[in-house]
Amino acid sequence: MSEVATALDRDGGRASTGVFAPTTVALLLIVGILGFAGSLLLGAYAPDFRSGRNAGAHALSNAATGFAGIVNLAGATGRNPRILRTEAGWDTEDLVVATPEHGNVDMSSFMTMRRGRATLIVLPKWSTVANEDVDGWADIVGLLPASDPARTLAPATALPIARRPSGGRPLRAVDWAPAALSVGAPRPLQTVAPAALVPFVTDAAGRVVLGRIGRTEVYILADPDLLNNHGIRSLARARGALALLDFVNSTGAEGVAFDVTLNGLARGRSPLKLAFEPPFLAMTMAIVAALALAGWQALIRFGTPEPPRRAIAFGKTALVDNSAMILRKAGREGALGGRYAALIRERARSLLGVPARLTDEEADRYLDRLPGPSTFTMLVAPAGRAGHRDDMLAAARALHQWLWEKTR
């Protein structure tokens, strides 16, 4: 009877090789590991892969109300534009263009970070929905309520909004502003009341289209159509948009940054993402290497394989094993010391030529006269007194060593 069953196939009596071949199992493991690693990476970086093609009014949008056009145009004309997708990016001396899509966007942290630095805030104007036929395009539903852009900087700064037909008449810029800012006004034109801002570009009635908040470096563009994709479709508007960026970026900064964090497109931080970035990337690679080595050790056999053992041994081995098990369960192993000493005595008598006429006591004295550091009687006494398994084992080892030294 054996614990290891031998499986035979029906045809040739050969051992069965299992349901899957080793190559199949290896491929399944590789695909599973790669899939798991890929899911972790996508889970960590999926927010960063968002393209921004959601028909919104931000710097990644190709919709009519988006600002991807001015970003590309600024790049083509050497103005070094970049997209800010983290709040830490607000801490820059470059001009930062913010395009909140609604007036209820929290601007407090942004305004605090940008204090004293050139900043252009483009007010929202249009209400849109995503175009169902073309990905990234938007359909204009109508104008947002005037109260929506009016509360963009509330309550710190009130921005009374007005919309009027402009007839496409040219805007009026201050004398020191670039002439390209005097472009035809959008239709309809969204403006801010003159008392709210320091005017730089106005309509014919003096209402502010581009203004500055007091003596700060924060500029407000009331009408986004002067900068968005729909507005710069004409050459004059495109020139005016570049001139506008240069005008508000007069601090000498080397680039223009377009923020999309206020549009919900920020790159988030997560514990999972930290595992794939320095300095924790080294620890992640060390863990992966340790797991790979552990898997390799599990797959590769080391050393000579041990043959399977029978559940019940043959013949004398079975008898010895059963007797040892009974003694062990009865707790009588310590009482075997005297019997083991008697066994060693009998072997010594036959191996060392002890006269057969001698009794056990006389044989012990005979064996004591043999040269060596220990006498036989000194080793027999602890074996006879042993009451614990460990004591008996120590005495038996001493007797075995004594006999080995005398017979070698």
Amino acid at 15: A
pLDDT at 312: 65
pLDDT in tens, the chain (408 residues): 444 444 444 444 444 455 678 788 888 888 988 888 888 777 767 666 655 678 889 999 999 999 999 999 999 999 999 999 989 999 999 999 999 999 999 999 999 999 999 999 999 999 999 888 888 888 999 999 999 999 999 999 999 999 999 999 999 999 999 999 999 999 999 999 999 899 999 999 999 999 999 999 999 999 999 999 999 999 999 999 999 999 999 766 789 999 999 998 887 666 777 777 788 888 889 998 998 888 888 777 666 777 777 666 677 777 777 777 787 777 766 677 788 888 888 888 888 888 888 888 888 888 888 888 888 888 888 887 777 778 888 888 888 888 888 887
pLDDT at 351: 85
By DSSP bridging, strand 256-259 and strand 95-98 are parallel
Tell me how far CA of residue 90 lies from CA of 93, 117, 270, 310, in angstroms. 9, 10, 20, 75
pLDDT at 350: 86
pLDDT at 50: 58
User: Kindly report the CA angle at 148 between 142 and 150, in degrees rounded to 5?
Assistant: 125
Look at residues 182, 183, 209 and name the one whose alpha carbon lies nearest to residue 196: 209
Characterize 34-65 residue by residue with b for buried, 16 or more Cβ atoms within 10 angstroms of its Cβ, and e for exposed. Answer: eeeeeeeeeebeeeeeeebbbbbbbbbbbbbb
For the full predicted model, state whether its pTM sits above 0.85: no
Residue 140, beta-bridge partner list: 128
pLDDT at 302: 64
Instruction: Map residue 208 onto helix, strand or coil.
Output: strand
Which residues are CB-contacts of 86 (< 8 A; sequence separation ≥ 6)?
261, 266, 267
Q: Report the Cα 297 to chain-centroid distance in Å.
A: 26
pLDDT at 5: 42
pLDDT at 18: 57
